[in-house]
Amino acid sequence: MAASEPGRRRAARRRGGALHSLTRAAGRGGGVAGGRGVDGRIRLLRFLFIVFLVLVGGRAVALASSSQHLTQIALSQQTASVVLPAHRGAIFDRNGRELAVGKPAKTVYATPYLLDDPRAAAKQLWRVLHIRRHRDRLALRKALEDKKSGFAYVARKIDPALAKAALALDIPGVGAYDEEERAYPMKGSAGQVLGFVGVDGNGLEGLEAVYEKELAGRPGSETIVRDPAGRTLKTVSLREPTSGANVRLTLDETIQYAAEDVLRNTLRTSGAAQAVAIVMDPRSGEILAMANAPALKGDVFNAEAGLKRNRCITDVYEPGSIFKLVTISGALADGLVTPTSRFTLPSSLTLYDRTIHESHERGVVNYSVREILQWSSNVGAVKIGMKMGKDSLLKWMDRFGFGRTTGLGLPGEATGIVPPAELWSGTSIVNIPMGQGIAVTPLQMALAFSTVANNGVQVTPRLVAQVGDTVYDTVEKRRVIPSRAAREVRAMLATAVDKGTGTKAQIPGYEVAGKTGTAEKPLPNGGGYSKTDYVASFVGMVPADHPRLVVLVAVDSPRSSIYGGDIAAPAVQKIMRFSLQHLEIAP
């Protein structure tokens, strides 16, 4: 039955109220859930945005870093720092003659990664640079084909005209820069004294090495901008190099050359292995010549080690009879003998297992000290040495400077060998007075004679007179023996040249004093002495009464004769005679 109208309205009102209550309840619950959903979405969007920013920022940093790296690469291809070598100082003789100088040169280089056709470039460069050796051509081609390389030498220190021809080829990546080549105008004269420089211009031997710091100077630099082909467009910055200082020596090139010429002829005529010569001024200690034969010249880098040594200071030898000057000078200074003291000398002398013979057979003689030196008597020198004793001999060897360097200041100078007192054997007193059983350098022996020539005062030898603006003219000297003893020894040495073993050293118009030496060479490993190899030597001084020059020549293993009077004395005579004329020293 249908509900009445009022009933329907009441029912509708009841449903509407319930629906309204339900809607409100749903509205309260739905508001909480909806709020949470919106917040979550916002947080997600925020997170994604942050991630996006990080990714974008990281990419920007990466691009910036890559851009900077690429910029650096570009700049490195467009700019370059070039070292500007300093002019190396020259070495002069005492009169200003050039002994070693810097000669302008060019070095040609290539940038291999800029070469389109390395083989073609190599062939073009071979032709204009006159590279003829097959191995040099292969080395150049290999260097140019290395595309990873940014630099390769084509030719070091060549004539600027050749470098100009190479640049005229207009090969991209091929350039040149200035360098210096060391030149020795006197064709290797004094080579062992001067030494030499390496390919990079640094001193390797001799005076070139000793004065490397002063000679080298300070290099400069410049920063240049290049085009893609490697050609220089402009200079951005420049620091000029500072030239090295010049070095002036005490050597006289004219005397040096003459001494070397005499030694060359001596080797040729005597068949000797090698020889040395020293010319000194005994008053100042200045060395006017220091010669070695064979000479050092040509390809010095591949020369034998023996040729590179300055044997005047590096090599030691048993001096033989020239050492009698020390023995007799010491005996005179001690007052043990006078020039007229006499000794009866048998033809030989035996002590323990050692028998001393004279260089030439003779019978029993009665010699004065003057005659012992004049005729270079071994037995006489031993008699005097035995009279002196071990302590006195050691004292005078030390006073004369044996057993230590001379103070010249060159590298490699040997000290020689002087056996200390505790190592003397029973026969040392027999060997040492006549110059055996000890070892000396040629310079030490020349210095001993210079001491006698300078009235008993020893002057430290000098080879360098000036470096840059600094002049080295200080004379370091010390007295070794009394002037009286020195004059007596010079007079005896003059007799030895006038009518003794040194007659081949005579010079017409001048009185020469000197002493011959013929020394047996010791066998290796203490096996005694050689019967075929000797060192023939002579040391002279002129004029005898007031010497201006002392000249030593020592010849190793001559074959035409073993005697110093035959081999070395004529060589000294030639060097002395030339030097006297050159220096205008009056008779």
Residue 488 structure tokens: 């007596």
The verdict on whether omega for the bond into residue 294 sits within 30 degrees of 0, i.e. cis, is: yes
SS3 content of the chain, % helix, strand, coil (to 5): 45, 25, 30
Q: Is 13 exposed, middle or buried (0-12, 13-18, 19+ CB in 10 A)?
A: exposed
Contact between residue 554 and residue 582 where contact means Cβ atoms under 8 Å apart: no
Q: How many CB atoms lie within 10 A of CB 81?
A: 10
- C-alpha separations of 115 from 129, 162, 232, 392, 492 in Å: 18, 20, 17, 78, 79
Q: How many CB atoms lie within 10 A of CB 21?
A: 10
Q: Is 162 exposed, middle or buried (0-12, 13-18, 19+ CB in 10 A)?
A: middle
Of 189, 321, 376, 450, the catalytic one is 321
Q: Which residues contact 224 (CB under 8 A, 6 or more apart)?
A: 79, 80, 82, 232, 233, 234, 235, 236
Report which residue type is found at 320. G
Q: Which residues contact 317 (CB under 8 A, 6 or more apart)?
A: 439, 440, 442, 519, 521, 535, 554, 556
321 is catalytic: yes
Contact between residue 519 and residue 432 where contact means Cβ atoms under 8 Å apart: no
Contact between residue 233 and residue 227 where contact means Cβ atoms under 8 Å apart: yes
Q: Is 214 exposed, middle or buried (0-12, 13-18, 19+ CB in 10 A)?
A: middle
Interaxial angle between packed helices 390-400 and 324-333, expressed in degrees from 0 to 180 and rounded to the nearest 10: 110
Annotated active-site positions, please? 321
